[in-house]
Each structure stands twice: as C-alpha cells, then as structure tokens.
Amino acid sequence: MLGKLAVRNVKRSARDYLVYVITMTFVTALMFAFNSIIFSQDIRMRVDQVGIMAALVGLATFFIVIIVAWLINYMVRFMLEKRSREFGTYLLLGMKKKEISRLYLRENMLMGAGAFGFGLLFGVLLQQILMAVLYTMIQTDYQLRLEFNGWCILTTAGCYGGCYLLALFRCKSRFKRMNICDLMSAGSKNEEIHESHERVKRWLLPVSLGFLLLFGLRLFYGGLLGGWDGGTVLAFIVGLVLTVYLFYTGLSSSIVCYIRGEGEGIYRGQNLFLLRQLSSKIKTMRFTMGTITALFMLAFLGCTVAMMFSDYQNKVLKEKFPFDVQVYSGNVEDDFQRELAVIEEEAVVKEAYPYQIYTNGTAQVNEWLYTHLREFGSMYLTPEGEPDARALEERDDGCYCEFDTYMKLSDYNHLREMLGYGMVSLRENEYAIHIKSRVLGEKGDFSEHLNVEGWEGQLKFSGYHTEPFSQDGHNGGDYVIVVSDSACELTPYYAELAVDIRGKAPEGLGDRLDDLDKKDVFSHLDWEGEEEPPGANNSCCGSDAIITYAAVNLVRDNVIPEVKYMLSSIVFPCFYIGLVFVCVALTVLSVQQLSDSAKYRFRYGVLSKMGLSRLEVAGVIRRQLIAYYLCPALFAAVIAGIIGLFVSRKFIFYTGVETEVFQYFGISFLLFSGIYLVYFLTTYVQFRQNAERGI
C-alpha cells in the first residue's frame, strides 16, 4: 500500500513541481552528453589531448554536483514544508516517523529516477548535437550514431546519485524533530514579516552599490587606486560575497522605508500591493536570492569565457597558421630533406621553400618590446622606469630570441606570394617591419627608436606590414625586420621551411614530422625538461598570452583541429556550468513563485473583489513576476558585466582578437535571456492559472 501511495504522491509532485522535474531531466541530459565526450572512443582515436577535456569537464561536474545537490536539498525541504499537513495526517493515522521518512525518501528517489530515465533519452539527442558541434569544430565530418558507453552511463548515474546522496543526507533527522501539531498548522501559517531597524538596514543598498562602483573602478583603473596584492584581492572577494547577500536586505528595507515614508508612488494603482509583495518576498528569501544571484553571475561569466575562446577559434586560429606546413630548424645548414621526404610521401607538394632568418647581433627591437609592451609589465625595467640591462641579459622567457630577427626581401616577397599577399618593394637604404597587428596596435609606431645599420649608414624606415605571417617563433617572434638582400651585414640565425601542399594535409602528418626527432635543430622549444641545448638561443614564441601554440613542425590542418579541441575543452565546460547554473537558479525562482501562487491565491481573489478585472489581475501578476525575476538577474548582470568586460578587455588585449569589448558579455546576456524567457513564461502561465482559481 505504501508503495502505491508513494507512486501516487510522485505523480502529484511531478505535476506540482513540473519545472523542477524538467530541470532535473535537463541536468541529467547535459551530464550524459558531456560525459559522452570524455568516453567517446572515436574522439579518443582522433585527438591526443582528451585528458584536458576530461579534467575540465570533471572539474565542471564537481561544481555542478554541488549546485544540483543544493537544488535537490532545497526542493526536498520546500516540498516537505508544503506537505507538512499531509505528513501530520499520516502521523495521526498511526504511521511511524521512520515509515514516513522512508516513504518521502522513496518518493524523491522515484521522482529522481524518472527524471534520470527521461534525461538519458533526451541526453542521447543532446549528445548528437554536442558531438556534431564538436566535430565541426575539429573539422571532421560527424555521422549520426548512438553511442551507449557503459562507463558513461555509470559516471552519469554516479554524479546524479551523488547529488541525491548529498541532498538527502540529513532528511531523516528533519522528520525526527517534527510533531503533529506543528505539522498540521504549518501549511496554514503565512510568512511572518518582521520589520525592525529598517532605516538602518536600508543603508546596505547604497553601501552595496557603492562597493560595486569601487570594485569596477578598481578593476578598470587599478593603477589609479593602487595595485592588486593578495590582501586586496581577498578583501574584494569577501566584499563581493557580502555585497551579493546584503544587497537584498538593503533593497527590501529601502522599499519598506519608501512605503512607510508614504512616497507618491504607493498611491498609484496597484503599486502598494506590488511593492509590498516584492519587499516581503525579498526579505524572506534574501539568502536564497543571494545564492541565485551568485549562480546567475557564474553562469554569465562561464558563458562569457566560453564566448571568448569560441571567438578566438573562429577568428584568430586560421591567421595563426597561414602556411600549410612550416618547419623550424635551429641549425642554419639544415636543408630539410628528411622533412620534405616525409611530406612528399604523404601529400602532393605544390611548392616547398626553404629559407633562413638572419640576425645582425643586436637586440634593439627585442629590448624595446620587452621594456614597453604591457604584457611584460615592469619585469625588465628598473624602479626608475629605465631598461634593466641585467634582467634583459638573464631573461629566459622564450618570447623573443637573443637577437633581433631579420628577413631578406627576396625571401619575404616569396613568402608573401605563397600567401597571396602583394609584393613589397624596398630600396637599398630602406627597411620594413612585419609585425603582429596586436603588438603594433598597442604601442604604435616605434621606428624612431630603432637604428638599423646598412652598409652605407642608417637605413630608413619604410613602413609596417601586419598580415598574418606565422610569427610565433617561425618568421620571428611577434616581428621580423625586412631588408633588401644586400642592404646590410647579416648572419644566418635559424632555418625555416614553408610548404604549400595541394588539398588538405593528411591526419598525423605533424606527428610523423615530430617523429624525425632531429636533435640537431637546437630548438629551445623542444628541450623542456632536458639539458639546455648548446648554441645560440635562436628560438622564440612571441608575446601572445592566454593562448599560445609554438611548435617546431606546424601542419595547419593537423594543428587547427588539435588547438580547437583544446579550446573546446574550455568552451564546453564553461557552457556546461553556465547552462546548469542558470537552470538551477531559475527553477528555484519558478518553484517559489508557483508555490506562492497556490498558497496565496486568495490575494488575487481579494484584488478581484476590490474591482480589478481579470486582465488587470493578470497585469499585476506579470509586473510582480517581472520585478521578482529581474531583481537577481539584473543584479547578477551588473556584477558579471563589470567582471566580464574587464576579462574581455584583457582577453582581446592579450590575444589580439579583433572584437568589441561588449560582444562576449552581450551574447552571453542574450543567451541567458532566451533561457530566462522560457522559464519566465512557463511560470507566468502557471501562476496565472493558479491565481485565477482564487478569483
């Protein structure tokens, strides 16, 4: 009989808390879909760096399990409170507390299992979408196929079960503390509003907003207000957490004070009702509202970060690797015969062009960049702001070679031709600089600080060129100085090979080139963990930060999917976290409102009896819901907006991706608004139906 009761109760609860069940289904589907990326055999075969994705999805899952456990725990407590009268009746009928607690646990497990089952089915669909997106990213055709990996299902079940275990941990003890009288009267009790010290508490609102302003100023104009040290960072994090939670106390008290102060607004239409509804709800829910804000904020930020890396993938990656194949050798005598043999074996070579990068034994461009680019801060400056000669001499960051890098005009024009760029002409007494547009954009023209000596005195600067030119260690790091072939005395510095092949490069070509394992290249990049190679420090990788990819052998069609997969390892978990957090937060908001709409439907009946038409009551409900839903969303958007814009600015600055600073946060906001709207409309329709039963 108890089994039958549990099933019927589950049916009723699933109907009453449909939003919660749908969210749990969606969370299961997401878990399954993301786990399937980790366990997919096909991806494992195609991509080397599966471990990174697994680690980051695992990390995301850890946080998701905690948040979903919080949601389940919240819902279990919430439903328990709403059904207290029913549990009181069970006690009156003679059931033991242990039996009731077991019944309730069984109901929750059944509901969870149902959501899990549907979630797996939906997860298969989501898995196909996710795989299709991922395969498109890594430039591989995806054939629709159902992949049911036992480990994947087991991991999803483990994570999902973990959420329930965490959430239901203390459920039994809650039943032990109950007594019949409290249970029977709990349902009919209204929320008691305690108003005290509101005039003092309302100051928390301007204080919170003031802190946010200070936080924003500090982020964007940190230099003006002092630097960031460990203590400051910690103080701001603690301040931010306090702000998120205390804001609502301040907001609620401010509304109460406005009402008590008999502001003009309360005498207009239904404003008094709406303001009181909002203030009392925020007051009783302030802690939950704070948590919801934090979830929204993290979702915004997760989505913003995902957008950044996704944008990088789409815009920058192709420009990073303009040549089909490019090979570096620290040995200037290298004729690349072994590499060419491998390439010719695997692909049809249209053109192979070996050339050399030169040096004149000076490092004036390197030093200027080291001492002026913001990326290096004051690493190579004395406290007085002068170049620190000692630090420059001892540097081993690998950004730039020991000496400036030069290229002869004939080589340069040949490479430009290979890339389809126009020819560049230089007189004997001229030089040009090919530089990354990001670096040039940061500091502008710096040619007046350079002194490039030719055979017949100082060379004249003719101009900058900023087309994509493989400047992460191949054609120089960040820049290369171009001179006429006989303009000055140059010594070969390192050797390069650029290859243009017909069609796409075969998979694994890069690996086979790496397998040649030529120690004589003296590459400082390939000697990680081994003894420092002999010879000049003639390898570098440029000053790109956040995303850098430097390698001796670059095969574009191999590298781009690999890098895209690595970037997807960040993009996917960020979206994963963002989606789950938004859904969890919106579910709590929605369930709260729907439950209130059932419990307090008499309020709308009273409004109707006071003469409001159905349409007007619907208007009141709409405005009430909008205010309640917008509060945490807007507040989170402001905080996440400040942080998101700051991070976006840094990202654009360090990666050189050309995007408006508002774009990443803007798109995240739109995505968020889409999900938000779905939950809002669902809640609004159900709320209206519930309220109209009271009219």
Partner 1 sequence: MNGYIRICDVEKYYGNGANITKAVDRVSFDVDRGEFVGVMGASGSGKTTLLNMLSTIDRVTAGHIFYGDTDITELSEDGLSEFRKRNLGFVFQDYNLLDTLTIEENIVLAMTLHRKDKAEIRERCGAMMKMLGIADIGGKFPYQVSGGQKQRCACARALINQPKLLLADEPTGALDSKAAQTLLETFTRMNAELGATIFMVTHDAFSASYCSRILFLKDGKIFHELIRAGRERRVFLNEILDVLSLTGGELSDVR
267 binds partner 1 (CB under 8 A): yes
The 345-384 contact track toward partner 1, x by CB under 8 A, reads ----------------------------------------
Window contacting partner 1 (CB under 8 A); options: 71-79, 137-145, 187-195, 685-693? 187-195
Q: Which is nearer to partner 1, 98 or 609 (CB)?
A: 609
Task: List, in order, residues 6 or more apart from 151 with CB less than 8 Å away.
Answer: 39
Strand-pair category, 406-408 with 479-483: parallel
Query: What does the block give as tokens for 116?
Result: 């899990």
Is 492 near partner 1 (CB under 8 A)? no
CB nearer to partner 1: give 191 or 417: 191
CB of 625 to partner 1, least distance (A): 15
Q: What angle do CA 214, 241, 195 make, to 5 degrees?
A: 100
Under rule CB under 8 A, residue 692 binds partner 1: no
Q: How far is the CB of 692 from partner 1 (least distance, A)?
A: 12
Does residue 190 interact with partner 1 by CB under 8 A? yes
Q: Which of residues 616-645 bind partner 1 (CB under 8 A)?
A: 616
Find residue 352's DSSP bridge partners: 499
CA–CA dist 523, 527 (Å, integer): 7
Residues 567-606 that bind partner 1 (CB under 8 A): 600, 602-603, 605-606
Interface with partner 1, residue 261, by CB under 8 A: no
Contact 253, 204 (CB under 8 A): yes
Measured from the CB atom, the residue of 265 and 463 that comes closer to partner 1 is 265
For partner 1, the closer CB: 198 or 367: 198
Beta carbon nearer to partner 1, 262 or 384? 262
Which part of the chain contacts partner 1 (CB under 8 A), choosing from 188-196, 220-228, 343-351, 560-568? Answer: 188-196
Q: Is 534 exposed, middle or buried (0-12, 13-18, 19+ CB in 10 A)?
A: exposed
Neighbours of 164 (CB within 10 A): 21
Q: Mask: binding to partner 1, 391-420, rule CB under 8 A, as x and -?
A: ------------------------------
Distances (CA, A) of 250 to 61, 143, 242, 259, 266: 34, 55, 12, 14, 19
**Is residue 271 a contact point for partner 1 (CB under 8 A)?**
yes
Determine if 191 is a binding residue for partner 1 (CB under 8 A).
yes
Closer CB to partner 1, 500 or 692, in the complex: 692
**Which of 362, 364, 462, 608 touches partner 1 (CB under 8 A)?**
608
162 vs 605, beta carbon nearer partner 1: 605
* Cα separations in angstroms, 115 against 18, 24, 154, 676: 10, 6, 16, 21
Q: At what angle do helices 204-220 and 614-655 cross, to 10 degrees?
A: 30
The least distance separating partner 1 from the CB of residue 687, rounded to whole angstroms, comes to 16
| Bridge partners of residue 407, in order along the sequence | 482
Report which of 639, 522, 691 is spatially closest to residue 208, judged by C-alpha positions.
639
- Chain centroid to CA 274: 36
Examine residue 270 and tell whether it contacts partner 1 (CB under 8 A): yes
For residue 90, how many C-alpha atoms fall within 13 Å in the half-sphere facing its CB?
Answer: 21
User: Segment contacting partner 1 (CB under 8 A): 38-46, 87-95, 607-615, 682-690?
Assistant: 607-615
Report if residue 610 touches partner 1, rule: CB under 8 A: yes
**Side chain identity at residue 608, one-letter code:** S
Q: Which of 44, 96, 609, 693 binds partner 1 (CB under 8 A)?
A: 609
Distance CA 676, CA 625 (A): 12
Nearer to partner 1, 105 or 257 (CB): 257
Q: Are 486 and 410 in contact (CB under 8 A)?
A: no
By CB under 8 A, the count of residues binding partner 1 is: 35
What is the DSSP secondary structure assignment for residue 351, as one 8-state letter? Answer: E
Nearest to 493 by CA among 393, 401, 428, 382: 401
> Which residues ranging from 276 to 335 are in contact with partner 1 (CB under 8 A)?
276-277, 279-280
Q: Nearest distance from residue 691's CB to partner 1, in Å? A: 13
Stretch that binds partner 1, among 260-268, 299-307, 331-339, 635-643 (CB under 8 A): 260-268
Per-residue mark of binding to partner 1, 213-252 (x: CB under 8 A)? ----------------------------------------
Contact between 611 and partner 1 (CB under 8 A)? yes
Q: Of all helices (H) and strands (E), which one includes residue 52?
A: helix 50-82
How far apart are CB 262 and partner 1 at their closest, in Å?
A: 7
**Alpha carbon of 89 to those of 86, 104, 180: distances in Å?**
5, 14, 8
Mode of pairing for the β-strands spanning 491-501 and 457-458:
unpaired
CB of 275: closest distance to partner 1 in angstroms?
Answer: 9
Helix (H, G, I), strand (E, B) or coil at 322: coil
Cβ closest to partner 1, residue 606 vs residue 638: 606
Given candidates 104, 273, 296, 665, which one binds partner 1 under the rule CB under 8 A?
A: 273
Of 178-186, 456-464, 546-554, 609-617: span binding partner 1 (CB under 8 A): 609-617
Q: Could you give the 3-state DSSP secondary structure of residue 553? A: strand
Question: Which of these, 308, 310, 413, lies nearest to 647 by C-alpha position?
Answer: 308
Could you tell me which residues come within 8 angstroms of residue 256 by beta carbon, excluding any fewer than 6 positions away? 195, 198, 202, 279
Asked if 155 and 35 touch (Cβ cutoff 8 Å), the reply is yes
CB 572, CB 38: distance < 8 Å: no
Cα 67 from Cα 158, distance rounded (Å): 15
Could you say which of 7, 129, 238, 272 contacts partner 1 (CB under 8 A)? 272
Alpha carbon distance 467, 435 (integer Å): 8
**List 139, 458, 491, 613, residue binding partner 1 (CB under 8 A):** 613
Residues that bind partner 1 (CB under 8 A): 190-193, 259-260, 262, 264, 266-273, 276-277, 279-280, 600, 602-603, 605-616
